[in-house]
Every structure is written in C-alpha cells, then in structure tokens.
C-alpha cells in the first residue's frame, strides 16, 4: 500500500497517485463565511482531494466571474482545462457542480466529454465523483449541470425581467443612490402589449431639504454653485488649489465641517465621484471600474456610463434631477478639461494676464520644457543649476511682448492671406481652426455624449484586441474554445457597430464661419495697430485665437548676448507651428517621437 494512502477510507483512490486541483468560483466578490465563500471552497476542495489520496496541485480561482453568462471570461478555468489537456491535472475538485458550470448543458457537456476522454475525473465535495468509468455517473452529472443551469436561468429571467420592466417604465434598478438623492416607491401604469399594466417601481429624487442647509442635496447644490461662481473668476493661487477644482472643493467642505457619506473627510476622488454621477441629472447610469493588469475589473470606480434608449439613443430618465441636465453636462466639461491644472481660467484679467502664452500648453523651450512667465520675459522652466547633456547651457529667456507680437502677426498673416486666393496650406489651417471653434461653441450635452461614445468605443476596441491576444495564448484551443471565441467576437463587434452607428447619428459640431474680417479690421491696415481687434481684445479672447490657429511656439536660445542694447530677434529665435489636424500615426511634439510634417510654418 502506498505510503500516502488512507487505509479503509471510503473515497480513497486506490490507483496510482493522481494529481488533483481545486476549482473555486464565485460570481460576486465576497469575504464572508458563507458556505460558498472562496475560503470555504478552497478548504473543502483541498481536504476532499487529500481524502481521495490525491496529490494536490493547488487552487484555480475565478472570483467575481459568472458561471452562467456565456460572455464571462474565466481565465483560470481555461488555464485549468489546458493543464488537464497537457496531463498536469488528472482530477478536478469543486465544492459543487454549480461552481464548475451553470451554462446550458449543450455548452458544458462537450467540455465534460473532453475531460473524460483525457481520463480526468470531476469530483464534487457534496455530490460525489464523476468519471468516464461509469455511464450512470455521466448521466447524473448531466442532470446536475442541467439543474444548475435552470436554476440560474430562472433567477436571471426573474431579475432581468423585473429590471427591464422597471427600466422601460422609467424606474431605478438598484444600487446605492448618489449623494444627495434617495429612492422611493412609485406606482405607474403603462400600456404593455395593448393592456394597462400597473407596476410599483423605484424612482430617484433629491433628499428632503433642511432649513439649515446641512442635508446632502443642499450640499451638492452649494458645491455646484461654488464651482460655477469661481471657475470664471481670476485666480492667482496654486493651480491644484483652484476654488473650483475638486481639491479646492474638498478643502472647502472639510473646512466648513460638512461630513462625507461615510463621515470621513473629503478627498479629490470623493468629490469627483459625487459630481460625475449622471443620476444627479436624473439619468440612468452604470458604474465603470478600472481593470487590473490582466484586464479584470477592480473595485476602483473609473467613471459612469449613461444608459440610453436602444431606439432613440436618448438618456433614460429614472427620476427627478437634482442638477438640471444642461448644467450637469457643463459641469462635466469643466471637470474633464481640468482647466485648473493647466492654469487656465475664462477670466479676461488675471494676475498672469500679461503672460498670454503661458496660459496654454503651446509655449516650449528648445529643450521641450514649457516656458514660464516672469516680469517682461518668458523663461525656460528648467531648474537653475541643472545641466543636461545635449541641452542649452545656462538659462533661456526672451522678451515676452515681442514673442506675443510675433505669434500674433503669424496668425494675422494667415488671416490676411485667406482673404485673397489662399494656398492649400492656408486652407488646411483655416479648416482646422474652424473645427476647433466649432468644438468650443458646441453645446456641452452634445459634446459630452460624443465623448462618452468615444470612450465606450475605445473600451470595446480594447476588449476585441484582448480577445485576439487570448486566442494567440491558447485559451480558446479546441473545437469548443473556437466556438466560444467566435461567439465573443460576434458579440463585441455587434456592440462596436452599434456605437459607431450612434457616433454617426450624433455627428460632429457644426462648423461656424470664421470672423476673419472682424479679426483683421483696423484703422490703418495693421491688424495689430490702432483700433484693431487685437488691440482691444481681452486676454481670454486673444488666447482663444491662439488656440484656434497655433499648435506650438518653440523658442531657441540666443546665439549671443545683445550687449547694452539688447535686441530680441524673435523672428530668428521663435518658430510657430500652425494648427493642423493630428494624424493617428503622428506623435505629439515633445513626446520624443517624430515631428509631423508641418503644412505651413512661419518664423523659420
């Protein structure tokens, strides 16, 4: 008798020592002590394997993955099957057959038959062992797989049917209400298949207001009002402490003693999570979670996706809005652009208003570092005393007013040329400027929807790429795996096609006519001279013109000092790269990649 055998044990495997592995699955991530918790499954399957006299190879775990959904990816399940195919594992031990599969028998049975043909035994802690040695065992296993599938199907249909009906009737389908909102039951009657149907659904509404304004709904509205008040005001403080930034809002809430939902202090993610929730605008939404390095979703919230009507594409309304939708979309625009991080505000006059070009990410030193503003000059932001091989020696400064004028004249040269018979290069610049102006003037709701669709398209595209990577790695090996791959591919490509169709329906912003005559008008013919638009324009308007027509302003170090009568020589030192549409195969300047071909370059 082998040394590792257990004499007299009823389940002892009397044949040669077999290698067993435990398979643990749980559809939702839990850490409780329930009978189906991962820890309980692990302990039971390992104990069962050793009771059967097997050598235990370890646990294969898929946590947070459905055994019923055919679209769910069980990577460790596939890895276990591959290890069985290579002969590493001869026995699979599960807590019960529902952990192995809840799919239709027609999908699960081919996998079972393949395992049986490899001589692999499937053992359930609570239901016994199944192998190819007995036809009756196979029949019993099929019956249990079918029962597990029917149980999941019935639960899924009941839950999805209730959610579908609630969704169609404008109901909220569950989850934690956003900060400042609450759910309440509501009876609604709708015509379904020609018959009146009355259903009790749950809708969302703002929580009841308190006279002192300490209720969460009042807090949210005060936060939004504060953002809209401060985002257009001058701000000369630290960029990350802008009063309208999440950091600034969090500091303000903590200072005024407003508790968060959990009673702890407010942090940037907490503020962002609160304000980015579409349900505050009365829209149905689902949370999006970040993924780990293996592509599996984590518990870290990455944003929300607005749920839309499949036919019209309009957001599904699930209750009363706390923030009016138009105002909410405008709020998302401010939060997504993070203007407080780039130092930009929409105010015409700020303490940095004299520095026209530092308010945008366009002014660069020859070493690619941004230039900062100092009284009367722009200077390289490289720290003093730092010397990098291949870069300029010492600092780099240039007269601020002369650089501003040089850039402005390059823009005006394009606008003046556009009034005659412009060359194709000029037309390309004008077209790109018109596209950018259209984006600025577009309604936030439309722009927000397009951005959401673009993000969803990227997510689905990455999922398709990952699918092919999994195919190359052998996860979809075999006839069953191939069928599964084709099913997943069809599902993802269908979703991508629907997204592309909706993007086409949303379309791009309408192109406005560029007010060229207004920009170039003056009293003496000089577009920067007396009475010109440039002379009287606010700094914010000048910055907008630069953003429309300029991609980058690169400053070279002076080759020699100017002596007592220094001359800037901006035309020699400053290169202006005019606006052009970024091609997908181009690398942004300053990223270390190749510079794209510039269709029109002034100042060189």
Give the domain range for residue 288. 169-347
Residue 218 has pLDDT above 90, yes or no: yes
More confident residue, 437 or 31: 437
Q: Same domain, yes or no, for 370 and 455?
A: no
Q: Same domain, yes or no, for 499 and 517?
A: no
Q: Please state, as a whole number, how many other Cβ atoms lie within 10 Å of the Cβ of residue 40.
A: 17
User: Contacts by 585-589 with C-beta closer than 8 Å and gap 24+?
Assistant: 589/364, 589/368, 589/551, 589/552
Cα separation values, 152 from 102, 191, 195, 604, Å: 7, 30, 30, 70
Residue 521 lies in a domain: yes
Residue 9 lies in a domain: no
Q: Same domain, yes or no, for 418 and 491?
A: no
| Burial class, 503, CB count within 10 angstroms (exposed 0-12 / middle 13-18 / buried 19+) | middle
What is the CATH number for 110?
3.40.50.1390
Q: Same domain, yes or no, for 180 and 220?
A: yes
Residue 21: per-residue pLDDT? 94
DSSP 8-state class, residue 119: T
Mean pLDDT of 237-247: 73
Among residues of the chain, what percentage have pLDDT more than 70?
A: 71
- Rounded to whole angstroms, the Cα distance separating 346 from 543 reads 10
Q: Same domain, yes or no, for 66 and 136?
A: yes
Residue 2 lies in a domain: no
Residue 1: per-residue pLDDT? 40
- Rounded to whole angstroms, the Cα distance separating 230 from 226 reads 6
When pLDDT is cut at 50, 70 and 90, the band that residue 157 belongs to is very low
pTM of this structure: 0.46
Handedness of CA 369, 373, 375, 381 (dihedral sign): negative
Q: Same domain, yes or no, for 28 and 72?
A: yes
CA angle 375, 376, 378 (to 5 degrees): 90
Q: How many domains does the chain have?
A: 4
Cα separation values, 252 from 181, 227, 230, 391, Å: 21, 11, 13, 43
Q: Same domain, yes or no, for 560 and 490?
A: no
Instruction: Supply 523's token pair.
Output: 């009293």
When pLDDT is cut at 50, 70 and 90, the band that residue 429 belongs to is very high
When pLDDT is cut at 50, 70 and 90, the band that residue 155 belongs to is low
Q: Which helix (H) or strand (E) is 253 found in, with range?
A: helix 246-255
| Most confidently predicted of 69-73, 383-387, 408-412, 416-420 | 408-412
> What one-character-per-residue DSSP string does 28-52 give?
S---S-STTSHHHHHHHHHHHHHHT
Residue 14 has pLDDT above 70, yes or no: no
Q: Half-sphere exposure of 18 toward its Cβ, with a 13 Å CA cutoff?
A: 23
When pLDDT is cut at 50, 70 and 90, the band that residue 561 belongs to is low
Q: Are 360 and 546 in contact (CB under 8 A)?
A: yes
Residue 305: per-residue pLDDT? 79
More confident residue, 133 or 378: 378
- Rounded to whole angstroms, the Cα distance separating 67 from 102 reads 5
Residue 141 lies in a domain: yes
Q: Where are the alpha helices (DSSP H) in 419-443?
A: 424-441
pLDDT 10s digits, 86-132: 999 999 998 877 767 655 666 677 888 888 889 889 888 878 888 77
Q: Same domain, yes or no, for 395 and 544?
A: yes
DSSP 8-state class, residue 508: P
Residue 145 has pLDDT above 70, yes or no: no
Q: Which residues of 343-370 are buried (b: 16+ CB within 10 A; e: fewer)?
A: bbbeeeebebbebbbbbbebbbbebebb
pLDDT 10s digits, 457-512: 877 888 888 888 888 888 888 888 888 888 888 888 888 888 888 888 877 767 77
DSSP-based three-state secondary structure for 553: strand
- Rounded to whole angstroms, the Cα distance separating 102 from 112 reads 13
Residue 14 lies in a domain: no
Cα separation values, 324 from 229, 245, 274, 283, 321, Å: 16, 20, 15, 11, 6
- Rounded to whole angstroms, the Cα distance separating 151 from 139 reads 18
Q: Same domain, yes or no, for 245 and 128?
A: no
User: Contacts by 332-340 with C-beta closer than 8 Å and gap 24+?
Assistant: 332/276, 332/444, 332/448, 333/444, 333/447, 333/448, 334/227, 334/231, 334/244, 335/246, 335/272, 335/275, 335/276, 336/451, 338/245, 339/231, 340/235, 340/239, 340/240, 340/242, 340/244, 340/245, 340/248
Residue 375 lies in a domain: yes
Q: Which helix (H) or strand (E) is 114 found in, with range?
A: helix 105-117
- Give which of 564, 354, 305 is closest to 455, Cα–Cα: 305
Handedness of CA 587, 593, 594, 597 (dihedral sign): positive
Q: Are 359 and 352 in contact (CB under 8 A)?
A: yes
Domain end position, chosen among 319, 347, 375: 347
Residue 229 has pLDDT above 90, yes or no: no
Q: Which helix (H) or strand (E) is 381 found in, with range?
A: none
Cα separation values, 491 from 104, 390, 494, 574, Å: 18, 52, 5, 53
Q: What is the mean pLDDT of the chain?
A: 77
Q: Same domain, yes or no, for 146 and 217?
A: no
Domain end position, chosen among 101, 127, 160: 160
Q: Same domain, yes or no, for 270 and 139?
A: no
Q: Same domain, yes or no, for 457 and 436?
A: no
Among residues of the chain, what percentage have pLDDT more than 90?
A: 21
When pLDDT is cut at 50, 70 and 90, the band that residue 313 belongs to is low
What is the CATH number for 209?
3.90.1750.20
- Rounded to whole angstroms, the Cα distance separating 426 from 418 reads 7
Residue 25 lies in a domain: yes
Residue 5 lies in a domain: no
Residue 563 has pLDDT above 70, yes or no: no
Question: What's the chain's Rg over C-alpha atoms?
Answer: 32
Q: Half-sphere exposure of 51 toward its Cβ, with a 13 Å CA cutoff?
A: 15
Domain end position, chosen among 303, 328, 347: 347
Residue 216: per-residue pLDDT? 92
Residue 306 has pLDDT above 90, yes or no: no
pLDDT 10s digits, 509-541: 677 789 999 999 888 889 999 889 999 888 888
Residue 175 has pLDDT above 70, yes or no: no
User: Contacts by 592-595 with C-beta closer than 8 Å and gap 24+?
Assistant: none
Instruction: Supply 322's token pair.
Output: 């706390």
DSSP 8-state class, residue 96: S
Phi then psi for residue 57, to 5 deg, are -90, -15
């Amino acid at each position: 008798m082998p040394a590792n055998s257990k004499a007299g044990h009823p389940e002892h495997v009397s044949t040669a020592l077999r290698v067993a592995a435990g398979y643990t699955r749980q559809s939702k991530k839990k850490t409780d002590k329930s009978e189906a918790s991962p820890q309980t499954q692990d302990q039971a399957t390992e104990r069962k394997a050793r009771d059967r006299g097997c050598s235990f190879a370890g646990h294969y775990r898929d946590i947070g993955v459905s055994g019923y959904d055919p679209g769910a990816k069980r990577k460790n399940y596939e890895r276990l099957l591959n290890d069985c195919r290579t002969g590493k594992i001869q026995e699979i031990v599960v807590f019960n057959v529902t952990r192995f599969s809840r799919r239709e028998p027609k999908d699960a049975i081919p996998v079972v038959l393949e395992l049986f043909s490899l001589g692999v035994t499937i053992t359930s802690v609570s239901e016994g062992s199944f192998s190819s040695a007995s036809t009756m065992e196979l029949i019993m296993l099929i019956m249990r797989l079918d029962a597990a599938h029917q149980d999941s199907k019935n639960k899924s249909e009941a839950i999805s049917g209730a959610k579908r009906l609630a969704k169609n009737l404008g109901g909220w389908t569950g989850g934690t209400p956003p900060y400042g909102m609450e759910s309440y039951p509501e009876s609604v009657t709708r015509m379904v298949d020609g018959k009146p149907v009355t259903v009790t659904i749950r809708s969302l509404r703002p929580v009841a207001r308190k006279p002192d304004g300490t209720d969460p709904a009042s807090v949210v509205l005060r936060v939004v009002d504060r953002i809209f008040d401060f985002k257009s005001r001058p701000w000369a403080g630290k960029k990350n402490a802008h009063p309208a930034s999440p950091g600034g809002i969090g500091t303000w809430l903590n200072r005024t003693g407003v508790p968060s939902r959990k009673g702890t202090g407010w942090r940037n993610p907490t503020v962002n999570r609160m304000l980015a929730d579409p349900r505050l605008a009365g829209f149905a939404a689902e949370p999006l979670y970040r993924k780990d390095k293996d592509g599996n979703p984590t518990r870290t919230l990455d944003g929300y996706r607005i749920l839309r009507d499949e036919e019209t594409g309009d957001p599904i309304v699930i209750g009363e809005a706390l923030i009016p939708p138009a105002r909410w979309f405008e709020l998302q625009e401010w939060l997504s652009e993070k203007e407080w991080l780039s130092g930009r505000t929409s105010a015409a006059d700020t303490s940095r208003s004299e520095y026209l070009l530092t308010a945008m990410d366009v002014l660069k030193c020859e070493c690619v570092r941004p230039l900062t503003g100092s009284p009367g000059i722009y200077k390289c932001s490289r720290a003093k005393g730092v010397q990098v091989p291949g870069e300029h020696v010492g600092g780099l400064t240039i007269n601020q007013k002369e650089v501003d004028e040089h850039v402005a004249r390059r823009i005006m040269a394009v606008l003046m040329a556009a009034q005659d018979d412009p060359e194709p290069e000029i037309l390309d610049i004008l077209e790109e400027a018109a596209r950018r102006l259209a984006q600025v003037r577009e309604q936030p709701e439309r722009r927000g929807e397009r951005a959401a669709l673009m993000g969803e398209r990227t997510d689905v595209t990455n999922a398709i790429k990952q699918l092919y990577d999994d195919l190359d790695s052998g996860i979809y090996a075999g006839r069953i795996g191939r069928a599964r791959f084709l099913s997943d591919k069809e599902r993802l490509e269908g979703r991508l096609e629907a997204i592309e169709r909706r993007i086409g329906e949303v379309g791009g912003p309408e192109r406005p006519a560029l007010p060229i005559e207004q920009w170039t008008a003056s009293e003496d013919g000089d577009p920067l001279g007396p009475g010109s638009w440039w002379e009287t324009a606010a700094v914010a308007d000048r910055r907008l013109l630069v953003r429309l027509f300029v991609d980058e302003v690169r400053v070279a170090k002076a080759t020699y000092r100017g002596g007592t009568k220094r001359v800037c020589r901006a035309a020699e030192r400053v290169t202006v790269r005019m606006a052009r549409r970024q091609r997908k195969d181009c690398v942004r300047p300053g990223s270390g990649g190749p510079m794209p071909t510039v269709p029109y370059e002034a100042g060189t």
